[in-house]
Amino acid sequence: MLAPFMSLQRCCQRSALLIAARRQWSSSSVSPPPLHTRLLLFLTQRFYDVEMLLSWGSQLRRRGIQKKNAYYGYTQKLYGSDIAAAYYILSLKGGFRYVGQPEWFRANQRGKFNWDFLKHKDTPLEEVNMSYTVINYTGLGNLEGQKSLRTLSLRGCPEVDDWFLARLHIFQDSLEELDISHCPRITTAGLAALRNLKGLRRLDVSSLPGISSPGLVVILLEEMLPQCQITATGYDHNLRQERGERTEEYMEGQR
């Protein structure tokens, strides 16, 4: 509590000095420096204050993400786990389809959605698209009761990490298609946790920047999930090179 107070005090003191300097420039015959020069001087003198403000901004963003991924226990009590999961998905601007229903429910760019999904109480979800949303490990708990979930798209989700993938075992009896492409926080260790998804038929691991040896990772996934079709675009050169090296090693081992 003392640090923010001291920072605010320093900011007020420096603002007073800046006002005094501005008065000197206005009373002097010498023209003041350009606005951008004064702005740079102002920011330079307040480097640590700006750094603290950025830190506060980062903390506020993290709190906002945690708030969006809060457990919808109250909604679950009132409407059941299926409606609670549906509401959570729409609140994050995602989309879903109920079992046996052709219609998809989606939120628009402004976060608005059709409330007709409330008419399908006690109807589980079959397909969920959370691409480019801020779903995280905590928020995944809102989908835990979906035992009929076959398709899950997490493309480009910045909060999906290795811990998140480890928790996907809750869908091991139903999940058939999974898209985790373009997720920046996924590493090789997280992909190893997918071995629990024995029913998986399609897996997209394209363009994962946290994967250092994509060719070897794809080989590992193919061995863990032999019945699964692996899609891995975005590292074509590395895949060909690493597969070639693995083939050479195998041929040398046979000699």
Residue 204, beta-bridge partner list: 179, 231
Residue 37, pLDDT score: 76
User: Sign (positive/negative) of CA torsion 6, 7, 9, 14?
Assistant: positive
Task: Give, rounded to a whole angstrom, the gap between the first and last alpha carbons of the chain.
Answer: 70
Average pLDDT over residues 235-246: 55
* pTM value > 0.85: no
Angstrom distances, CA of residue 221 to CA of 153, 190, 196, 245:
18, 11, 12, 17
Q: Taking residues 2-30, what's their average pLDDT? A: 52
Q: Which is nearest to 224 in space by CA: 251, 250, 200? A: 200
Q: Please spell the DSSP secondary structure of 5-48, one letter per residue.
A: HHHHHHHHHHHHHHHHHHHHHHHSSSPPPPHHHHHHHHHHHTHH
Residue with the larger pLDDT of the pair 193 and 14: 193
Mean pLDDT of the 174-203 span = 95
Range 50-231 has CATH code 3.80.10.10: yes
Domain chopping of the chain, boundaries: 50-231
**Are the beta carbons of 105 and 127 closer than 8 angstroms?**
no
22 Cβ contact list (under 8 Å, min separation 6): 32
As given in the structure block, the two tokens for residue 158 are: 């910045």
Q: Read off the amino acid at residue 133.
A: T
Among 238, 176, 175, residue whose Cα is nearest residue 206: 238
Q: Please compute the mean of the pLDDT values over residues 86-102 and round it to a whole number.
A: 96
Question: What is the strand order of the sheet 202-204 is part of?
Answer: 104-106, 95-98, 125-129, 151-153, 177-179, 202-204, 229-231
SS3 state at 53 = helix
Note whether 205 and 181 are within 8 A (CB): yes
Tell me what pLDDT residue 251 has: 45
C-beta contacts of 12-18 below 8 A and 24+ residues apart: 14/45, 14/46, 18/42
pLDDT digits (tens, 9 = 90+) for 98-134: 999 999 999 998 889 999 999 999 999 999 999 999 9
The pLDDT assigned to 15 comes to: 53
Distance CA 204, CA 225 (A): 13
